[in-house]
Structure 1
């Protein structure tokens, strides 16, 4: 576990020199203390209405304390009933923080932030007699989590388990989901602070409830945040949040629009995945922002060989090519990165609390679901190579072998651009797909991100449409062997997953970004062929 002190070291002397004036500016503006005091004017008049209802995260180390007793009481009740398996249905901010918390503490939590039928079926195959489902959604209208709730409720009933006693809800006060929970008689409804956006919600009920029910000591997490809070609210050049924000903004001014994240022995598991949403969704808008690139380690392509368009950041001790390093326990790190991201927004000139481009892909997916013909038999591949069907947006070359298609596609990325690999697959059974990220990055020299769909739509999806418009997008979809119906809905999970991929690709294409979609008619065979083609493309 990381040490008790939350800190930031700017390792690179040149970056430290460039960041110094920005540190001075934030200190002179009293930005940190104003942020801690929930001053909504920090980001300008246009941002003030949204900021005024999104700043309660700065005091969650105090205001979330009443949750501790509620969680402990429910945990004791569930354990007494022999219920010790926790499944979380949530997307984005509702799933990323609990996943990091439980992985770091070494306790089991099954996270469903997918529409892949196979992955959901695996979760259903667990012992339902011992299972509690936590459904987390601010409104309840999130299509993925609503689908999970419906599927599990039916499965509980078919297994002879009282579904209402096994469903726990986390939502905002007065939301439609809170009303539904009361109507259905669900076991417990935890109400989160409505003045906190999803990506800043790690220390709200959205982060603490599933982690606490899984067995994490959430009081200790709040204690860690409390220990960092005073320092982060101080208008001083030693404030780690000010230093981190200034480093990011100074690098961005110099052309480093990407932040490459690698763990260097922090003791925190999966932290870059959580930070990815925070940074991308907060800063990626108005054609600017910081693109987070989560990599495997400090030797990984993109970190070890970072060029002038990227800033390597170590989560943990400074190592390798890191220009910045952060330290501290998980609770403190949550608060540090949230403060730093909000302050970086002030320096870059954006509102860190809105997400103006997220809804576009959702609308496109809904439109496709309303027109089932487009999802079944309405598509014709431009090319087929073995078990891979090839589809391209306008202007994307699709002729030749898969390797030739990929070579041309990689070459279409602009200078200092990036490539996003988006896998609408099963992140457990198809986990090897993630190996494509370092392989492509190594062979192309491009900063390369990897995201599981639709999970990334609630994370880096905002940046893809609203940030620097220099990305190219490789979508990977796959045939569904056994689909799952969504009760009382006119679509299956497989259809929903497909609609989400096509909808996002459509929106990206409308933004003028190249999209290449590879559909694996046989997932195992197709992935093997894809790996070989990537190797061929990089020769």
Structure 2
């Protein structure tokens, strides 16, 4: 696919055309193409924060710079790239690899973000072929530090010298960041990036390109796709980025009856993949500020009946007559630039600056989790006792049970009933699973969406809340949260692997992160229920049945 187009209809078309005319009358397309930060008022960010508009061209020089590294990696037989990173630093690379034609990539990419211990196990069994990429705009997360230590120890046990171990790590970070200093002291390979480039706008920078190129992706083709789109982004007419931004921003503003269509459903052929996850992160961080924001949902989390505050976009649909409100066709490189431009336009319409430094929502949970681990000093993590234990499932919440209410009484179905009752009529439920197995909130979302009649988002921790936490915590504030944690499965050596040089295990890191996120959500007055599965296998089955019970009520 080489062309790009955006088509919309119905009420979405009406609001989009009004928003587009307003954008043109205010000179937004020309000012944005000129990288004029005054679009967002007198208190603006640096002009350099808009440098992402130049990446389709500027990043070609990056590809020239890493030719030597690519040749060296290929010569050494390192065709398995392990990417350690949360949020934008890993999502773009995943989307790039997912878009490669089957069998075309010369290598393989494995992303480790703290959620999938099976992937860690597979990676540790391929040490002879593995190059580890640490990717972060600032410092290393708790999970990143744990994985770095685990791989360093594994390479050492494999017989590599300290110099050889240093050569197995590549760090991608901003010039002058804490990670830059650490990598230099450790003797790691280093790739430096522009510190002014917003992290959620870095898909076409080293963060998205270098890991995928090392794994064999065609990055030059990706940049050419983006460059084909770029000239249209300065136009008032025939500007797909402007239209998409007008659709998102126009819908997210309050329309007739005071209803804002700020919930976006993304649909892809074959089911939602890495690209919708990247789009969700981009919009969450870019628009989730000052009580506003666009929240993305996958189709399985939507109720069967339509919602007046949601609209759907089909990405590269095979049938032009699909039922989505909007259809968007573009190759992946153009998709990255198209959505970034649209997020900027959406922020302008909502009165928020998508490029300003975000709040401390991510660092807050990171610091709190580190404090929990430090306080535990290798023992049990400090925390509130469960309000009840139903079989082998603990219920942790500060929500109360109404007298005589609850379909299941003081048990797990009753806790779900109370949580669903706390979802506002214009709100949503979010399910985040901090488990080492493959149990997903996707298994719970459809039934809970039917039961409450409101949309349900879901994803694995810590990546999901790391990516979307801004819109949950600084956005409209209309979410309720089901956090699922569990003990490490019996017999899974990687689920609770000790972290070398630290007094805790991977399982404790995962649980500490979940507990810190629960506390952060509660501090903002958001309703939360945490269910802890003492037996993760049997507990997952019981939880699924409890959700079915909730759906039948």
TM-score (norm 2): 0.90
CA 15–384 in structure 1, closer or farther in 2 if over 3 Å, else same: same
Greater shift in the superposed pair: 153-162 or 223-232:
153-162
Q: Secondary structure at the match of 2:49?
A: coil
Aligned-pair CA distance for 1:344: 0.6
Asked whether the equivalents of residues 132 and 168 of structure 1 are also in contact (C-alpha less than 8 Å), the reply is: yes
Structure 2 matches for 1:158-237, cutoff 5 A? 158-161=157-160, 162-186=164-188, 188-236=189-237
The equivalent position to 2:55 in structure 1, one of 41, 57, 60, is: 60
Q: What number of residue pairs does the alignment pair up?
A: 524
Name the residue aligned to 2:510: 497
Greater shift in the superposed pair: 432-441 or 214-223:
432-441
Greater shift in the superposed pair: 175-184 or 331-340:
175-184
Q: Return the alpha-carbon distance in structure 2 between the equivalents of residues 319 and 241 of structure 1.
A: 22
Q: Return the alpha-carbon distance in structure 1 between the equivalents of residues 303 and 416 of structure 2.
A: 23
Structure 2 matches for 1:111-510, cutoff 5 A? 111-114=111-114, 118-119=117-118, 121-161=120-160, 162-186=164-188, 188-236=189-237, 238-253=238-253, 254=255, 255-264=260-269, 269-295=273-299, 300=300, 302=302, 305-317=305-317, 318=320, 320-353=322-355, 354-356=357-359, 357-372=361-376, 375-376=380-381, 378-395=383-400, 400-426=410-436, 429-481=437-489, 482=493, 483-510=496-523
Aligned-pair CA distance for 1:375: 4.6
TM-score (norm 1): 0.92
Name the residue aligned to 1:522: 535
Name the residue aligned to 2:25: 28
Asked whether the equivalents of residues 6 and 326 of structure 2 are also in contact (C-alpha less than 8 Å), the reply is: yes
Q: Return the alpha-carbon distance in structure 1 between the equivalents of residues 396 and 321 of structure 2.
A: 41
CA deviation profile, 1:473-530 (whole Å, cap 9, x unmatched): 0000010244223333343322221111111111111111110001111111111111
Q: Secondary structure at the match of 2:3?
A: coil
CA 464–432 in structure 1, closer or farther in 2 if over 3 Å, else same: closer
Q: Secondary structure at the match of 1:42?
A: helix
Greater shift in the superposed pair: 168-177 or 204-213:
168-177
Unaligned runs of 5+ in 1: none
Asked whether the equivalents of residues 245 and 341 of structure 1 are also in contact (C-alpha less than 8 Å), the reply is: yes
Structure 2 matches for 1:79-90, cutoff 5 A? 79-90=74-85
Q: Secondary structure at the match of 1:65?
A: helix
Q: Return the alpha-carbon distance in structure 1 between the equivalents of residues 119 and 112 of structure 2.
A: 7
CA 382–319 in structure 1, closer or farther in 2 if over 3 Å, else same: farther
Q: Secondary structure at the match of 1:460?
A: helix
CA 303–195 in structure 1, closer or farther in 2 if over 3 Å, else same: farther
Q: Return the alpha-carbon distance in structure 1 between the equivalents of residues 500 and 49 of structure 2.
A: 35
Asked whether the equivalents of residues 375 and 381 of structure 2 are also in contact (C-alpha less than 8 Å), the reply is: no
Aligned-residue CA RMSD in angstroms? 2.2
Asked whether the equivalents of residues 86 and 467 of structure 2 are also in contact (C-alpha less than 8 Å), the reply is: no
Q: Secondary structure at the match of 1:41?
A: helix
Q: Return the alpha-carbon distance in structure 1 between the equivalents of residues 430 and 547 of structure 2.
A: 14
Unaligned runs of 5+ in 2: none
Q: Secondary structure at the match of 1:311?
A: strand
Structure 2 matches for 1:94-113, cutoff 5 A? 94-105=89-100, 106=102, 107=105, 108-113=108-113
Asked whether the equivalents of residues 304 and 321 of structure 1 are also in contact (C-alpha less than 8 Å), the reply is: no
CA deviation profile, 1:313-362 (whole Å, cap 9, x unmatched): 11123554411121110000000000000011000101112321333322
Asked whether the equivalents of residues 448 and 550 of structure 2 are also in contact (C-alpha less than 8 Å), the reply is: no
Aligned-pair CA distance for 1:209: 0.6
Aligned-pair CA distance for 1:34: 1.8
